[in-house]
Amino acid sequence: MAEEIKYINVSHDFIDNGEGELMMVMEALEDTADDENAKFLFDGVSKAMLVRQSNQIINVPIVREDVHDLLNSIKIILITEMDGDDIDDVYEAQVEIVNPLPQKK
């Protein structure tokens, strides 16, 4: 039996360092991310999802306009998971432009 995919909404924000690099800061989740296989899927327009684990997808329903061009031009995004004011985990995710994005089943 296939493992059920969980779609999760968490608080997040994007930080552009001005040098063509982008970080997504989000609240930490209880289980560990699959740092080796994380992917950030962007529809090229306004929506995205972070595949944190094969069965866990973080929904990013609105990508700010000021981040669109950067996401369309980078290959990797840095993900920082925060537990309050403490950094819980930091990892890179491959950026892939996928339109349309996969849908919930």
pLDDT in tens, 70-80: 999 999 999 99
Q: How far is CA 16 from the centre of its chain?
A: 14
Can you give the residue ranges of every domain in the chain? 6-97
Q: What is the pLDDT of residue 39?
A: 97
pTM to 2 decimals?
0.92
Instruction: Say yes or no to pLDDT of 2 above 70.
Output: no
34-58 average pLDDT score: 95
Q: For the chain, give the mean pLDDT.
A: 92
Share of the chain above pLDDT 90, in %: 78
pLDDT band at 63 (very low <50, low <70, confident <90, very high): very high
Q: What is the pLDDT of residue 27?
A: 96
Q: What is the pLDDT of residue 4?
A: 86
